[in-house]
A and B are shown apart, each in its own frame.
Chain A
Amino acid sequence: MKLKSLFAVVLSLALLSCGGEKGAINNKAFRIVCTTTMIWDAAQNLAPQGVEVFPLMKPGIDPHYFKPTLDDLALLRSADVILFNGLELEGKMTDILQKLGGDKIVSAVSEGFAPESYLRHGSAIDPHVWFDPMLWSQSVQNIATTLSKALPNDAVAIDERLKVFQDSLNKIHNWTIEQLNTIPEGNKIMFTSHDAFSYFSRAYSFRVKGLQGITTTAEFGLRDVTNMVDSIIKLKIPAVFTEQSVPPKYIEAVVEGCRQRGYSVNLGGELFSDSLGEADTEEGTYLGTVRSNVNLIVRALK
């Protein structure tokens, strides 16, 4: 066989590939690309007319395990503004996003709060700030500041939209307090897959126990399951919760563990943790997701 001709074929294929440049998304409108669905929702609420807002991660994606496609790459390239959570939520992608700067504005929306706003696990800051609406309001403020800088002509409109959105965040915060008050004091404890609800717990004096700790990649020990089963039985907790972006089997192991010890604990349902619900559904917005989570918790623990 002629190896030289084989190489020629390979080379010409390679050259051919250069012609197939991906120009899928043409640059007309001002474009904001957001990493998580939470940021996407906020940016959509703030962005003036005619600005396109895209999420990089789709609903149900665990941000720790996000795998980009070529389309995602093209989307990032075409962005005028890139908004990401920061605090290491995006993992290795963080460095890449920061390097993308240059002609784009790249901003970490949940960084730069007052130090006491953050919860720490060891030396690391817990990045899951969004389920405390008052804290998320600060991220939203950051998003607005970034957008006003990028679109100075629309600064007034953005500010108006910011006020409206922050107002609804206040309302959902008060509504949540009201709802959670209907739960008996002894039941105010939430058992879930991983610690995505620390800020929620601080905001509403709710106790939260996650099986996996802050990262979904940490291995949990048998003892973690046993400890959780022990506490559930001791505190007579009626329900535990799974999370939409984390496989339910670990929490199911806890339910099974309780059953074997003669205590029946319900699966309270699936909480949204690292992403919002499907777009175009009730839970597709931040406010809808918070409502859905709170309703689920109240129904299961009341």
Chain B
Amino acid sequence: MDSIWIIVVGGLVALNCSLVGNLLILRKSVMIGDALSHAVLPGMVMGYFYFGDTNLIGVLGGAALAGLVLVLSIEWLKKSPLLKEDSAIGLIYTVLFSIGVILVSVFASQVHLDQEHVLYGEIAYVPLDRWFMNGTDMGPRSFWLGLGLLAILILVLRFSFKGFNLTSFDPDFAASKGVRIKVWNYFLMILVTAVVVVSFENVGAVLVVAFLVAPGASALLISHRMKSIYTLSSAFALIIAIGGFFLADFTSTSISGSMAFFSGILFIFVWLIRKRVRA
């Protein structure tokens, strides 16, 4: 049963990440995921001190807040013609991370406080971390979190498919049609922050970044239609979760490491066969 839960939760996180990841890839800002993994630190530290160490909500909320500061200031900074997006990402996340590092060494050098300990989850523990409702075992907590997030994402994407599609593929055309690009961008970034922070808490950082990029990047190799990109990347996300799990099982190593590695394998595989399967 443990194995199934790990695959299911891994698959859910992979699906969630790949759904927003696709849009990030099209906007060339997928490294926001990696930036978020560092930028959440100051918010986490403050949440930790404000709400106390045992309260995960404080840490998660703080992390999400710091994440929002990151994505919103990137959106704001990149409006300037003097700064490209990658510079904006690099600039802001390092500043945020360093604020976090300073906060830790000033207030908390004697406590175990960093993303690794307080925020990042470990996928191997997923089956053990159950959610009890009125004493009934409802299954792993991460499963319900992931499922809830997936439902929200599907709902949001269902109703804003066109908007995201237009503003991601061809922002200039969208602007000429009177679509409010800025609003869509901010909306997407808030969505990304929510997905990424919750996924960090479920499965850790490396895996989240891998899940954001690999399924979408592989799908884009063989398709350029939005609908099939979504379908393909979702399928790839599941393949990565399953394949990575068996790799970990076979080699008896870290599960998140194996899944992230498998996402690279999958990309290379698609790269090699892409000429034959253009969808």
Contact = CB atoms under 8 A, between A and B. Distances in A.
Say whether A and B bind each other: yes
B255 interface: yes
Name the residue in B1, B232, B238, B248 with the highest tally of chain A Cβ atoms < 10 Å from its Cβ: B238
B117 A76 contact: no
Interface residues of B, number: 48
Interface in B236-254: 238-239, 242, 245-246, 248-249, 252-254
Name the residue in A69, A76, A221 with the highest tally of chain B Cβ atoms < 10 Å from its Cβ: A69
B153 interface: no
A74 interface: yes
B269 to A, nearest CB: 13
A3 B228 contact: yes
A222 interface: no
A25 interface: no
Given A73-B124, A92-B118, A3 B235 contact: yes
Contacts of A14: 7, 11, 238, 242
Given A13-B239, A17-B4, A74-B2, A124 B110 contact: yes
Interface in B86-108: 101, 104-105
B105 A21 contact: no
Contacts of B279: 1, 3
Interface of B: 1-4, 6-7, 11, 101, 104-105, 109-114, 116-118, 120-122, 124-125, 127-130, 222, 228, 231-232, 235, 238-239, 242, 245-246, 248-249, 252-255, 257, 277-279
A21 B222 CA distance: 34
B124 A70 contact: yes
A192 B238 CA distance: 46
A22 interface: yes
B111 A215 contact: yes
Name the residue in A6, A124, A219, A221 with the highest tally of chain B Cβ atoms < 10 Å from its Cβ: A6
